[in-house]
C-alpha cells in the first residue's frame, strides 16, 4: 500500500472518530453548563426537583450507560477490524471467506435480547410508579386547560382560577403535599412539560390525562407547551411557582378575594366593561364573565403577560392591548386600537387588579 493510500485509509477512520469525540465533548460541555446554573428558572433536565422527574432522570442515566457501553464496544471492534484487516498490496481480489460460528451467532442474538429486556423492565417500572401513583389525602388538585396559546389553571376545591403561572406548595419529605394535575384541551393538542418537575404529558381534546408533581424545593420552574399547537406554539410558556406552605396559603387567600375597587379608575373600568374585553375575559365582581381568555381578577399578581411572552409592565400592557401581534404574532387576542386617553385609562384600571 502506498503512503497516500495509507493516509486516505486512516483519514476515513480518524475523521468520523474526531467528529464523534467533538460531538460528545460539546454535549458534555452543554450539560456541565446546565448543571452549573444556579437559577431554578432554567429548564435543566439534569437537575430534577420532583419524584417523577428524578425517576425519569435515573432511567435516562441507565439507558445512556448501556447504549454508551454498546457504542464503545461496537466502535472499538470496527476500528480494530479496519486497522487489523485493511487491504495490503499482496492481498488477492477478495479476502478469505469464513462461514459459521455458533458461538458468535448465539452471542449476538442472546446479548441484544437481554439488553432490550433489561431496558424494557426498567422503563415499565418507572412508568408504573409514575402513572399508577395514588393521590394521597391532602394533595392539591389542579385542572389544567390548554388554549391557543395560554394555560388556564383551575383549583376546584379552592375555587381559584389562574392563568399561565401555576402556584403549588413545596412537598417536604416530612409532610408530603403532591399536586395532581388533570389535563384538558379547549381546542387542539398541547403538551404540559416542566423538565425539572415531570415528563411530558399531552392535553388532547375530548380526552382526560393526568400527571402529578411533588417539588422538593421552593422556587420558579419554567416549562412550555411541547406539542406543536399552532403559530404561537413556541411562546406558549408556563411558570410553576413552588411556594412554602405559608406562602401558598397566603396566595390562596389573596386569590379568593374579589377584584379590588378604586374610584380613581372608574373611567378605565367603564371602558373595560363597554368594549369587547368582557367577551373574552372575566373579572369577579363585574359584568365581565368571558371564558375565551385568561381570568383577569388578579392580573397584576402575575409576573408575565401573554403566557410568558412579556413581563407584566404598564408599557408592555399597553402594547399588548393595542397591538398583540407586536408581542405575539398570530395570537387570538384582538387588537383594541383605542385612543391614547382610553388606553391610559384602561391600563390604569388593569393595574389595580391585584
Q: pLDDT, tens digit, for every residue of 222-235? A: 998 999 998 889 88
Axis-axis angle for helices 3-36, 51-84 (nearest 10)? 170
Please say whether the beta carbons of 236 and 194 come within 8 A: no
Buried residues in 56-87 as b, exposed as e (16+ CB within 10 A): bbebeeeeeeeeeeeeeeeeeeeeeeeeeeee
- Residue with the larger pLDDT of the pair 96 and 301: 301
Please say whether the beta carbons of 237 and 205 come within 8 A: no
Query: Strand, helix or coil at 145?
Result: strand
Binning pLDDT at 50, 70 and 90, where does residue 27 land? very low
d(C-alpha 344, C-alpha 160), whole Å: 29
Residue 321 confidence (pLDDT): 92
Residue 262 confidence (pLDDT): 81
Q: Tell me the pLDDT tens digit for each residue of 96-107.
A: 777 778 888 898
Strand-pair partners of 305: 310
Residue 41 confidence (pLDDT): 57
Q: Tell me the pLDDT tens digit for each residue of 59-89.
A: 999 999 999 999 999 999 999 988 887 877 7
Residue 90 confidence (pLDDT): 73
Residue 155 confidence (pLDDT): 96
Residue 190 confidence (pLDDT): 96
Prediction pTM value = 0.79
Tell me what the pLDDT averaged over the chain comes to. Answer: 85
Of the given ranges (16-20, 97-101, 158-162, 263-267), which has the lowest mean pLDDT? Answer: 16-20
Q: Is the pLDDT of residue 21 over 70?
A: no
How much is the average pLDDT of 143-170? 94
Q: Tell me the pLDDT tens digit for each residue of 236-248.
A: 999 999 999 999 9
Q: How many residues does the chain have?
A: 354
Residue 331 confidence (pLDDT): 85
d(C-alpha 167, C-alpha 173), whole Å: 19
Distances (CA, A) of 135 to 27, 130, 140, 195: 38, 11, 9, 21
The set of cell numbers assigned to 347 is 391600563
Residue 197 confidence (pLDDT): 94
How much is the average pLDDT of 272-279? 88
How much is the average pLDDT of 141-150? 94
Amino acid at each position: 500500500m502506498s503512503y497516500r493510500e495509507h493516509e486516505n485509509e486512516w483519514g476515513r477512520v480518524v475523521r468520523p472518530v474526531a467528529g464523534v469525540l467533538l460531538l460528545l465533548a460539546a454535549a458534555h460541555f452543554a450539560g456541565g453548563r446546565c448543571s452549573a446554573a444556579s437559577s431554578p428558572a432554567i429548564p435543566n433536565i439534569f437537575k430534577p426537583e420532583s419524584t417523577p422527574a428524578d425517576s425519569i432522570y435515573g432511567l435516562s442515566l441507565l439507558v445512556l450507560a448501556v447504549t454508551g457501553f454498546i457504542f464503545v464496544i461496537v466502535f472499538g471492534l470496527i476500528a480494530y477490524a479496519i486497522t487489523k484487516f485493511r487491504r495490503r498490496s499482496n492481498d488477492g481480489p477478495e479476502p478469505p471467506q469464513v462461514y459459521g460460528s455458533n458461538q458468535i451467532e448465539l452471542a449476538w442474538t442472546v446479548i441484544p435480547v437481554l439488553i432490550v429486556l433489561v431496558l424494557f423492565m426498567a422503563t415499565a417500572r418507572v412508568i408504573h410508579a409514575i402513572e399508577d401513583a395514588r393521590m394521597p389525602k391532602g394533595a392539591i388538585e389542579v385542572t389544567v386547560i390548554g388554549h391557543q396559546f395560554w394555560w388556564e389553571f383551575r383549583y376546584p376545591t379552592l375555587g381559584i382560577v389562574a392563568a399561565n403561572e401555576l402556584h403549588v406548595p413545596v412537598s417536604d419529605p416530612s409532610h408530603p403535599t403532591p399536586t395532581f394535575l388533570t389535563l384538558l384541551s379547549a381546542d387542539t393538542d398541547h403538551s404540559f412539560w416542566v423538565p425539572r418537575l415531570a415528563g411530558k404529558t399531552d392535553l388532547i381534546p375530548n380526552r382526560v390525562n393526568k400527571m402529578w408533581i411533588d417539588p422538593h424545593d421552593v422556587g420558579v420552574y419554567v416549562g412550555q407547551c411541547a406539542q406543536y399547537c399552532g403559530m404561537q406554539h413556541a411562546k406558549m410558556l408556563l411558570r410553576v411557582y413552588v411556594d412554602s406552605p405559608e406562602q401558598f396559603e397566603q396566595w390562596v387567600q389573596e386569590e379568593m378575594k374579589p377584584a379590588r375597587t378604586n374610584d380613581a379608575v372608574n373611567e378605565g373600568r367603564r371602558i373595560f366593561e363597554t368594549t369587547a374585553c368582557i367577551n373574552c375575559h372575566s373579572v369577579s365582581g363585574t359584568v365581565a364573565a368571558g371564558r375565551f381568555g385568561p381570568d383577569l381578577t388578579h392580573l397584576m399578581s402575575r409576573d408575565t403577560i401573554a403566557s410568558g411572552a412579556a413581563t407584566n409592565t404598564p408599557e408592555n400592557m399597553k402594547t399588548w392591548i393595542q397591538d398583540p401581534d407586536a408581542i405575539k404574532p398570530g395570537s387570538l387576542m384582538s387588537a383594541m386600537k383605542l385612543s391614547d386617553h382610553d388606553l391610559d385609562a384602561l391600563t390604569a384600571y388593569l393595574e389595580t387588579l391585584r
